[in-house]
Structures are given as C-alpha cells and as structure tokens.
Amino acid sequence: MKEKVTSLQVAERAGVSQSAVSRVFTPGASVSKRTAEKVRVAAAELGYRPNVLARAMVSGKSRIIGLVVAYLENYFYPSALEKLSNALQEQGYHVLVFMASQTAGNIDDVMEEILDYQVDGIVLASVALSSDITSRCQAAGVPVVLFNRSQDIDHISAVTSDNVAGGRKLAEFLVEGRHRRFGYIAGWEGASTQRDREAGFRAGLAAAGQDLFARGVGDFTVDGAKDAARRMFDRPEDARPDCVFVANDHMAIAVMDVLRFELGLSVPEDVSVVGFDDVPPASWAAYDLTTVRQRANLMVAETVTTLMENIENPGMVEPRKVAIDGPLVVRGSARIPTNRTRTG
Amino acid sequence: MKEKVTSLQVAERAGVSQSAVSRVFTPGASVSKRTAEKVRVAAAELGYRPNVLARAMVSGKSRIIGLVVAYLENYFYPSALEKLSNALQEQGYHVLVFMASQTAGNIDDVMEEILDYQVDGIVLASVALSSDITSRCQAAGVPVVLFNRSQDIDHISAVTSDNVAGGRKLAEFLVEGRHRRFGYIAGWEGASTQRDREAGFRAGLAAAGQDLFARGVGDFTVDGAKDAARRMFDRPEDARPDCVFVANDHMAIAVMDVLRFELGLSVPEDVSVVGFDDVPPASWAAYDLTTVRQRANLMVAETVTTLMENIENPGMVEPRKVAIDGPLVVRGSARIPTNRTRTG
DNA sequence: ATGAAAGCGCTAACAA
DNA sequence: TTGTTAGCGCTTTCAT
C-alpha cells in the first residue's frame, strides 16, 4: 500500500540518470527528445509524479499562496475566493486557507503559521496587519497583498474597489431621487472600506448641499445592522431617514428585512435602501437591491498580477495600491430618479 | 532581505547540536529543561520557526488536507468550508483548496495535483470519484472522505445528512398540511443527495397514499430551478402543484422568487415551498423557508474525526458511511399543519 | 545533452 | 539526555 514512486526509480527503469528525470519534468531544461521520451514512458508506467514539497525545498518555491480570510459569511468572500483560487490554479499555484477567527488567536500568530509553510505569497482578505509582521514578511521575501482592505502603512500592496467614488455615486443617486433625510449604517469602523465608503458618501452629500441625518454602526454583521436599523427607524416618519446607505450588501439585506417585516415599512416607498458589493443575493427579486458593484474579477486579476510580479522579481516591485471603479447598479430598492433607469 | 533562519543557526547560537533544536520543537521528544530553555531563547532571538515543508519531507506528514470543492455559489459550502478549516486548524492542519471547475479539467486531474502536494488527507465536497483514482489514493495511503455526497463504491468514507429521512419528514409535513398536489424539483440527478432526498420524499408520500403530481429538474443551479419552476407553475390552479419540495435551499429561494415575482403567486397561500439545507438565507425574513437542517457542525466533526483516525492508523480503519439526521425547521414558506408550530 | 555530486532544512535512528 | 549520521525527493552546479 505504499507506492511512493521516486525520480530515481523512474531513472533506473528508463536507463538514465536521476537528474535526467528531473530535467524532463522541469520546464526550461535541456533534454534530448529521445531521453525525454524514454523517461515519460517509464514515468507513465510507474505512475510517477514529481513531489511538489521536495521540489519546493530545493527550489525555494512552494507554489502555495496563503490566504487569510476572517469570515465567509458575507457572500462577497466566497465568490472572491472561488475566483482567486481558479485564477491561481491557472498559474500553477494553490491556495492554503487560514481562517482568522477568534479561536485561532490573533493575525500575527496566523501569519507566523503561514510563513512556516514557505508560501510564495500571501493574500489578506479583509484583514489588517501590524507593521511588525509586515516587515517579517518582507524580510522573508514573501509578497503580501491586501484584498478589499487598504492600509496607510505604505510598503504593502492593496487591491480594493474605489470605495470613495462608490460612496459618492450612491449619494448622488439618492440626492437625484429627491431624498431629504440621509441615513448611513457603517461597517466596522476600523476598516478602510468602511471609512472610504462613508467619506465618499459624505462628500457626495456635501457637494449637493446635504448632510447626514442619522448614522448607525453595524460592524459588518447582520445583528449589528439589524440593531442599528431598529434604532434608526423605529420612530415617526419625520424623525427617521427617508433613505439609507448601508455599508455593504450583507448588512443592507438584513436592514431591509427589519424595515419590512419588523417595522412594517415599505421599500422603497417609505425608505430607500442602497448597499455596496453587488453580491448574488442583491439581485434576488425579494431584495432587488440598488448597490455599487465590486468588480471581483478585476480585483482578483489585479491581485494575481501583483503577486506574480513580486514573486518573479523579488524585492524589485514597488508596492501599489489599486482601486477599481465599480458601476452603480440601479435596481428597485431605492426610488429611481426620473433621469435614470434600472441597470441590473 | 533573505533571513531564512535554520535550526543549525539556532543550534550554534545556543551552543547545542542541530538535532537538539529539532527535538525542542518536536512535541514528544526528550530534552532537558536547560537545553530547551537555551534553544528557545536562541530561537526567539533569531526569529526561528521550523520549516513545515522540510519537516514534511522527512516525516512524511505534511499537515495539509486537500479540499476539492466544485462551486461555492451554494451557501452551504462556504459555511462548511469555514467550519472545516477551523476544525482542522485546531488539529494543526490546514486546507489546500482545489476548485473542480470546468476550466481545471476533470476531477481525476485535480486529484493527481493534490497528491503531488503530499497531502495527509483529502476531502471531496459534493464531488464524485472514479474508482480508478480512489485506488490510487489508497495506494498512496491518503485517506479520502466524501462530504455531502455518498457513493456506492464501497471502500471510501462518506459523511452526509440522512437525506432519505429528511425527504420523508418533508413529505409528512406537507401531507399533514393537507396539500393535495405534490411537486418536486430535483437537483443534479447524478448526485446521491438528490437521489436520496427524492427517494425519501416519495417514500413519505407513498406511506400516506399519495404520489408525485409534478416533477422538474433544476440541477442544483439557480437558472435550472427557475426554468423548472416556470414550467411547473405557469398554468391554471388545478393543473399545478399546491406545494413543492425543491431539492436544496439554494434552488428553493430562486423558485420562491419566480413564484412571487414572475407568476404573481403567494407563498404559502397559493403554493407551499420547502427546501433542504437550512442555509443562512433560508432564515431571512423575505424567504422564511421551511427546510431540513443539515447539521454542518456535526458533519464537519465527523469528517475531521474520520480523517484523523485514518491518518493515525493508516490502512487500519474501515471506511464508514455516516448519515446525520437533521431536524425539520418549520418556518413560514409552507402551510403549517394545525398540530405543528414554527421551530425556526 | 548527460551524469555525478552537493545540498535544501529537517527528523529519526543509532551511539555514546 | 545528547551528538553524530543518514537520508526524505528533488534541483542545480559542475564536469564531461
């Protein structure tokens, strides 16, 4: 039941040296057609495949990318993970998952663990980082890219949506819809996405001579969002917003449920709701949520590109912050201005 | 920028042999308190951590579990993945993800790739396997466990819900609710989950002297389910079912959207809808879906246990099929029999 | 183009 | 308890 086939066994069977076998399985190596053929035959007969780990040891390249993700509850992350994994697979890499839950200790510990696996790169999804550990990675020559988070610490690449622009688009849309009292339900306040979306939203309102009427904090959680919604909307009509931007779709959907089923309000007749992300449930007919799309495909592509560049030119690539503009997707959860039409 | 700290460097600094260092970092090894202390100090100063890959090479244990997953669109899988990853992390293992998409070729290729990484075990989520590759894994001494799929091929472990029992519960519930015309929208017909759920449902109907009134196939996809729903329900009242069991929640939600927003039918007044899984969206107020809960925590725990047993006693453990019973969760998407109450 | 030889960083006998 | 010695399976000079 142990049939570990090694390159040496293949070599013997093919009547060549072990290094010849290695060369046959090494893309840019020099081998004659004849030896290559002999080796391939022997390998096939024995069912030989190179041991990735052994290769990693000597070459220093494991073809493993570590992915740290805090929680998969928000639909945006599973779909991003799926795309990321697929994109990396096409490049011959695979994703080693590290959940950054409370049980797993803090991020720094998780990062140490990742480094133990000699990963070629690290993607941090919705996770911020101490500058301390950042330098450990740089010292180890392992590129790190933040996904859907940015950070002021400079020497670290980050791929996000243009959250500021997105927030502004939402503000403009609501203003055009002749809303009067603007509500905002924030995500976790430590997150750059949260800060940027709010900043953009406020800027958009300000540009139209408007201001926030009410503000709550949902921490990017369903329960947090529901509580915030209850506090914000369980009051007389003129004491509550007539529209609300909820910092992501995951929360926005929970807010819609509270408005409709707990408070008996109609969306969008009584309250317009808009979100951010355009996760699959946003397009479900029961929600039909107006939102700003995060272009996950582009974000993933940028992430992979950044990773690959850094892996191929260690230490030669400047860290870069990419912010990808995403379109406003107009659906039915918010009153549609007369000059606009549905777009999704 | 390269600071690969090796055990040898630590050894020199601590004034001990390299193997002493190794022992300090090997759980059950024998080292004196004094050396251990010296080594720990030196290691801390140098920032040394053992190289998991090197350890894997010589020990034969990589502490990596390969996970093959077909698609993350169905919410059940992300949440299962999160739980699985967490559970394995607690055991000192990590998950290497392989997407079994169309682009990545067929499952057999993916399996080969996994084996290249010298994984200690493999979890196949909603994926079936050729018996050919199964034996390759057995030959390599790598335990495989099917998650949320079962297979007649015997020598392979599988963890599922008790889908037959679940299907029957749903049938009984609908019968008690005095429904007359029973519809069923199937998942992908190659899946054991689909077959078992349908078998249980039919058995439950038969036991009450009832039979299926209409049947469609949704293939576990949103579009497939919507089409099936349109064909089944876009017709006069007495020519369509008054209730429908959709083979999983993911599809059931899509079906509800079609019924309500395309066909103008009320749920549950015109049609009762029930699903299977109890994914998060099933409990959202807009759907409030009656369903059978898959106890993901238990399923994951069984999966991890099975894996660990097989890893610790290679070839000594009999493959086992575990089917976990899940409760009926009564919500509002289906008429509630007078002898029942909401349970979720 | 090919083989011989030297490790990659570590664990696991084996002695001492 | 400790150090010495073999490798794990592979890539990569270095000769040839």
* Same-domain status, A243 and A275: yes
Assess whether B189 and B148 both reside in one domain. Answer: no
Domain range for B109 is: 62-161+295-324
How much is the mean pLDDT over chain B? Answer: 94
Considering only the beta carbons, identify the residue of A78, A136, A286 that sits closest to B286.
A286
Lay out the sheet containing A243-246: strands in order across: A212-217, A182-186, A243-246, A272-277, A290-293, A328-329
- Do residue A175 and residue A243 come from a single domain? yes
Reported as a pLDDT band with limits 50, 70 and 90, residue A328 is very high
Q: Is residue A56 part of a domain?
A: no
Extended strands (E) in A218-311: 243-246, 272-277, 290-293
Residues near A65 by beta carbon (within 8 Å), at least 6 away in sequence: A88, A93, A94, A95, A96, A119, A120, A121, A122, A123, A307
Segment B207-226 shows an average pLDDT of 98
Domain with A77 in it: what CATH number? 3.40.50.2300
Same structural domain for residues A277 and A317?
no
What is the tens place of the pLDDT at every residue in A221-253? Answer: 999 999 999 999 999 999 999 999 999 999 999
| A105 touches B at CB < 8 Å | no
Distance separating the N- and C-terminal Cα atoms of chain A = 56
Question: Are A253 and A192 spatial neighbours (Cβ–Cβ below 8 Å)?
Answer: no
The answer to whether some atom of strand D lies closer than 7 Å to the beta carbon of A23 is yes
CB-based contact (8 Å) between A283 and chain B? no
The residue type at A331: R
The answer on A80 and A115 residing in a single domain is: yes
More confident residue, A139 or B178: B178
**Cα-based torsion angle of the residue sequence B275, B279, B280, B284 in order, rounded to the nearest 10 degrees:** 0
- Residue pLDDT, tens place only, B132-157: 788 888 888 899 999 999 877 778 89
Look-up: residue for tokens 């017709």? B235
A184/A25 Cα distance (integer angstroms): 57
B101: nearest CB among A73, A86, A113? A86
Q: Say if residue A109 is in the same domain as residue A147.
A: yes
CA B9 to C1' C5 (Å) is 25
Phi and psi (nearest 5°) for A197? -65, -40
The 10s digit of each residue's pLDDT in B33-88 is: 999 999 999 999 999 999 999 999 999 999 999 999 988 999 999 999 999 999 99
Residue B129 shares a structural domain with residue B177: no
**pLDDT of B2:** 56
Long-range contacts of B87-91 (CB under 8 A, 24+ apart): B87/B300, B87/B301, B87/B304, B88/B304, B89/A98, B89/A99, B89/A103, B89/A104, B90/A103, B91/B304, B91/B308
Global pTM value: 0.95
- Do A299 and A157 share a domain, yes or no? yes
Q: Do B101 and A95 touch (CB under 8 A)?
A: no
Give contacts of A287 with chain B, Cβ < 8 Å.
286
Q: Is the CB of A7 under 7 A from strand D?
A: yes
Q: How far apart are CA B281 and CA B273, in angstroms?
A: 14
Does the pLDDT value for residue A104 go beyond 60? no
A30 and A69 fall within a common domain: no
For β-strands B328-329 and B290-293, DSSP reports them as antiparallel
Mean pLDDT along residues A195-217: 98
Share of chain B above pLDDT 70, in %: 98
In a domain, A2, yes or no: no
Given pLDDT bands bounded at 50, 70 and 90, which one contains residue B105?
Answer: low
Q: Is A50 in CB contact (< 8 Å) with chain B?
A: yes
Structure-token pair, residue B187: 């998942």
Which pLDDT score, from 0 to 100, does residue B281 have?
A: 97
- A101 vs B: CB within 8 A: yes
Q: Rounded CA gap, A85 and B101, in Å?
A: 10
Task: Please name which of B278, B281, B279, B271 lies closest in space to residue B333, comparing C-alpha atoms.
Answer: B271
CA B344/CA B325 separation, integer angstroms: 17
Element (H, E) at B102: none
Residues of A in contact with B332 (CB under 8 A): none
A220: left (phi over 0), alpha (psi -120 to 50) or beta: left
Number of domains, chain B = 3
Beta bridge partners of B160: B323
Average pLDDT over residues A64-85: 95
The set of strand D positions with any atom below 7 Å of a protein CB reads: 1-5, 7-13
Pick from B293, B299, B294: which is nearest to B321 by CA?
B299
Answer for the pair B119, B64: CB distance below 8 angstroms, yes or no.
yes
Find the Å distance, CA of residue B58 to C1' of nucleotide D10: 13
> Is residue B343 in a domain?
no
**Greater pLDDT, B104 or A108:** A108
Q: Would the CB atoms of A81 and B104 count as touching at under 8 Å? A: no
User: Which string of b and e fits B65-100 if b means at least 16 CB within 10 Å?
Assistant: bbbbbbbbbbbbbbbbbbbbbbbbbeeebbbbbbbb
Is the CB atom of residue A52 positioned under 7 angstroms from any atom of strand D? no
Pairing status of strand B328-329 against strand B321-324: unpaired
pLDDT for the residue numbered B137: 86
Question: Is the model's pLDDT at A67 over the cut of 80?
Answer: yes
A54 touches chain B (CB under 8 A): yes
CA-closest candidate to residue B251, choices B272, B282, B207: B282
Residues A202 and A252 in one domain: yes
**How confident is the model over B78-100, as a mean pLDDT?**
96
Residue B338 lies in a domain: no
Q: How far apart are the first and last CA of chain B?
A: 56
**Residue A175 covered by a domain:** yes
**Reported confidence tier of residue A102, pLDDT bands at 50, 70, 90:** low
Alpha-carbon distance B286 to nearest alpha carbon in chain A (angstroms): 6
Examine residue B89 and state whether it is found in any structural domain, yes or no. yes
**For residue B122, is it within any domain?**
yes
Distance B4 CA to D14 C1' (A): 26
| Residue-level pLDDT at B288 | 98
Q: Which B residues 107-166 touch A at CB under 8 Å?
A: 112-113, 115-118, 136, 138-141
| Whole-number pLDDT of residue A103 | 56
Q: Which nucleotide shows the minimum CA-to-C1' distance to residue A17?
A: C3
Asked if B1's CB is within 8 angstroms of A138's CB, the reply is: yes
pLDDT, average across residues A30-51: 95
State pLDDT tens for residues A1-34. 556 899 999 999 999 999 999 999 998 888 999 9
Longest dimension (CA), chain A: 88
Average pLDDT, integer, range B21-38: 93
Question: Which two structure tokens, joined as six digits, stand for B262?
Answer: 């395309």
**What is the H or E stretch that residue B267 is in?**
none
Average pLDDT of B11-39? 94
pLDDT tens digits, B284-312: 999 999 999 999 999 999 999 999 999 99
Which residues partner with A66 through β-bridges?
A96, A122
Q: Do B138 and B168 fall into the same domain? A: no
- List, as ranges, residues 254-273 from B with C-beta within 8 Å of A: 254, 256-257, 260-262
Radius of gyration of chain B (CA): 25
Calpha distance B98→B115 (Å, rounded): 11
Whether the CB-CB separation of B95 and B85 falls below 8 Å is answered with yes
Question: Is A96 in contact with B253 (Cβ distance < 8 A)?
Answer: no
Asked if the Cβ–Cβ distance from B96 to A95 is below 8 Å, we say yes
Residue A86 lies in a domain: yes
Instruction: Indicate the pLDDT class of residue A131, thresholds 50, 70 and 90.
Output: confident
Q: Domain check: are A156 and A174 in the same one?
A: no
Percent of residues, chain A, with pLDDT higher than 70 = 98
pLDDT at B108: 85
Separation CA A35–CA A53 (nearest Å): 25
Per-residue confidence band for B104, with pLDDT thresholds at 50, 70 and 90: low
Residue B29 has pLDDT above 60, yes or no: yes
